Structure 1
Amino acid sequence: MTSFTLADVRERTYKSRDAWWTVFLVDPLAARLVVWTANRTSITPNQITFGAGVLGAGSAVCFALGSWPWLVAGALLFHLSFVLDCMDGKIARLKGTGSVFGAWVDFVFDRIRFFGCMLALLIGQWAATGEVVYLVLAPVVTFLDLLRYLNGAQVAKTRQTMRQQLRAAAEGGAPAPAAADPESTETEPGAAGEPEAGGEGGGVVFVEEVLRENPELDAEQVHARSAETGARVIDVHQGFTRRFGWYSGLRAALLRSRVRPHLFSGIEFEMFVCVVAPLTALLSPAVPGATLIVPVAVLSCAALAAFEVLIVYKLWLATRDFAVELRRLQQAD
């Protein structure tokens, strides 16, 4: 019988980059639970997903009750539900028991859990306090959460299209379509849209891909190493780097800890709305309704919107560099 270790879990299931909430507040617990679950039980990933859904439902019920002890309980249940949600994927990767349908189930349960808990929290607080601001926040939070999924997928497809066209031009092949078909490219929703591949195929090296997998390097070192192998180097983020010279160092430091530079992504958004905000009820348990749920939710919306704008701005600069690089490659041929 296979006996998995904590090192096995880290090596086989940890993502090369992840949200800081997951890296620091989820993985240390989830990894240990995965070792115990994988070695001592026959629980499947889908069963764990179902368990996460049950905890999520419990969290929503607690939020709906509205008083401070239930808010705290709901926040804890939501976080534990997310821990289980992270475990199902790790179990699947560790044991090789994952499935395409399981990935769909995991995604759908994630969305149902968040929307159910978020609505229960805000509507519950409206019922408890009578303040309309909670009802106003509900559609705003919903809109931003849906927007970041839409934006992430579309940014991914745009970047993939640019890579395809640049690779085709560098290799002297037929150009890729000018725009990716939204129905033909599967991407991880909300993942900021960057493929994992690192400069494979035809001696073509994309600087950002190499730096993502090798945070100890810088752009100059990538160019130097590629020159030694005769590979063609492509960098569509020169404009962004020129404007924000400090970003490369920060990015490398974060990636060395597996933290992705998108510091306020969908995961942080969900955790701040459904964990941090209700936990503020601990600040004044003797005063009904005296929480910081509204300020935390508003700041979370602002932070998510700011990072989405930054992603779009970086993409816009990349498209300008893309046009320059494409002309350079076409002229070289």
Structure 2
Amino acid sequence: MALRVTLGEIRSRTYKRRDAWWTVWLVDPLASRLVWVVAPWRWVTPNRLTTLAFLVGLGSAACFWQASYGWLLLGALLFHLSFVLDCMDGKIARLNGTGSVFGAWLDYVFDRLRVAVCAVALFGGQYVATHNFTYIWLAGIVIFLDMFRYLNALQMGKVKADMKAKLDEARGPIAFAETIAVDPGAEAPDVDEAVDVYSDFRTRFGLFVRIRNVLIRQRIRAHVISGIEFMMFVFIVGPVANLIVGTTVVASALLAGFELLLIYKLWTATKTYDRKMAALVKIPAQVTPARDEVPAA
């Protein structure tokens, strides 16, 4: 058994810089303490925790299928426990250095399967009990929105990284050439500002930026209704409040609204990217040589 680390060290080494508010307020406090308990046990690996989280999620789905309120409460409790375990796997990986590429894939796939199975169980069980076809529509909406949210996030991350990489590639040599023209001994400058594709968005929406900064100080990301909050409202708040239809409709509308906001934000970023790239391609011709060239005879 390895030496036990302090709870403060677990927080500093495993907490994400920004996370969903549900995770920050309702999951991390419990998950970090459970990690403190199990971290010294080397047989508790991230992949085993991921698998256990999925199995508990299947137990949640089995409870949801029963449809009665008591079973819905137990299903909601198991779903939250499943999510706590799912958060623990990443913390154990970061704390013990036991993460892997395969583990990241396994975590992602099991997360999506858990949502699909729980959606079929929750809404399918309600349909069997009530014969109200609304529940079938809601099951399809939940599965679609969950799929869209995470596919959209992956593609947005790829597009943003690609824009920054291309701006960095175009800006880096140019900025260095401009500096060398003035100071031949200078090092290449920091180009973070030059590759910032969201500068125009922040300038246009100052109130949003101020709200975001307040949230960031609490480790909460500005995307306050993300896939995590969506899942928790559908599979925990709705069953506990016994308002499955209303909660799902509201959560779906909020998630869709925030996704549209992200799409708009990405669109403005692409416009900023086009403008900056267009400006950068004109710079090389304007760079002054470091010393006068001697004309050929």
What TM-score does the superposition give when structure 2 sets the normalisation length? Answer: 0.87
Unaligned runs of 5+ in 2: 175-186, 285-297
- Which residue of the partner structure matches residue 86 of structure 1? 87
User: Counterparts of 1:1-333 in structure 2 under 5 Å?
Assistant: 1-39=2-40, 42-172=43-173, 202-207=188-193, 233-281=194-242, 292-333=243-284
Please give the per-residue CA displacement for 1:146-190, whole angstroms capped at 9, x wherever unaligned: 1112211221121112111211111237xxxxxxxxxxxxxxxxx
Cα distance, 1:41 vs structure 2: 6.4
Please give the per-residue CA displacement for 1:70-108, whole angstroms capped at 9, x wherever unaligned: 001100100000000100111111111112112222111
Q: Which amino acid letter does the alignment assign opposite residue 332 of structure 1?
A: I
- Which residue of the partner structure matches residue 197 of structure 1? none
**% same residue:** 51
**Superposed CA RMSD:** 1.7
Cα distance, 1:204 vs structure 2: 3.7
What secondary structure does 2:206 align onto? Answer: coil
Moved more, 91-100 or 78-87: 91-100
What secondary structure does 2:191 align onto? Answer: strand
Please give the per-residue CA displacement for 1:261-284, whole angstroms capped at 9, x wherever unaligned: 111111111111111111112xxx
What secondary structure does 2:225 align onto? Answer: coil
How far apart are the structure 1 equivalents of 2:273 and 2:132? Answer: 49
What secondary structure does 1:205 align onto? Answer: coil
How far apart are the structure 2 equivalents of 1:93 and 1:70? Answer: 35
What secondary structure does 1:236 align onto? Answer: coil
Q: Which amino acid letter does the alignment assign opposite residue 277 of structure 1?
A: G
How far apart are the structure 2 equivalents of 1:204 and 1:319? Answer: 22
Larger radius of gyration: 2
How far apart are the structure 2 equivalents of 1:151 and 1:40? Answer: 37
Cα distance, 1:295 vs structure 2: 0.9
Cα distance, 1:234 vs structure 2: 4.1
How far apart are the structure 1 equivalents of 2:41 and 2:94? Answer: 17
More helix by share: 2
How far apart are the structure 1 equivalents of 2:192 and 2:135? Answer: 46
- Which residue of the partner structure matches residue 290 of structure 2? none
How far apart are the structure 2 equivalents of 1:204 and 1:150? Answer: 32
Moved more, 1-10 or 294-303: 1-10
Q: Give the 3 Å change call, closer, same or farther, for CA 202–133 of structure 1 in structure 2.
A: farther
Q: Which amino acid letter does the alignment assign opposite residue 325 of structure 1?
A: K
- Which residue of the partner structure matches residue 291 of structure 2? none
Does the CA contact (< 8 Å) of 2:57 and 2:114 recur in 1? yes
Q: Which amino acid letter does the alignment assign opposite residue 127 of structure 2?
A: W
Cα distance, 1:26 vs structure 2: 0.3
Moved more, 63-72 or 91-100: 91-100
- Which residue of the partner structure matches residue 230 of structure 1? none
How far apart are the structure 2 equivalents of 1:293 and 1:202? Answer: 57
How far apart are the structure 2 equivalents of 1:86 and 1:2? Answer: 22
Please give the per-residue CA displacement for 1:49-83, whole angstroms capped at 9, x wherever unaligned: 22212211110011000000000110010000000
- Which residue of the partner structure matches residue 227 of structure 1? none
Does the CA contact (< 8 Å) of 1:204 and 1:234 recur in 2? no
Alignment coverage as a number of residue pairs: 271
Does the CA contact (< 8 Å) of 1:170 and 1:204 recur in 2? no
- Which residue of the partner structure matches residue 295 of structure 2? none
Does the CA contact (< 8 Å) of 1:148 and 1:266 recur in 2? yes
Unaligned runs of 5+ in 1: 174-200, 208-232, 282-291
How far apart are the structure 2 equivalents of 1:37 and 1:125? Answer: 38
Cα distance, 1:203 vs structure 2: 2.8
Q: Which amino acid letter does the alignment assign opposite residue 39 of structure 1?
A: P
Cα distance, 1:205 vs structure 2: 3.3
How far apart are the structure 1 equivalents of 2:31 and 2:188? Answer: 40
Cα distance, 1:235 vs structure 2: 3.6
How far apart are the structure 1 equivalents of 2:228 and 2:138? Answer: 18
- Which residue of the partner structure matches residue 219 of structure 1? none
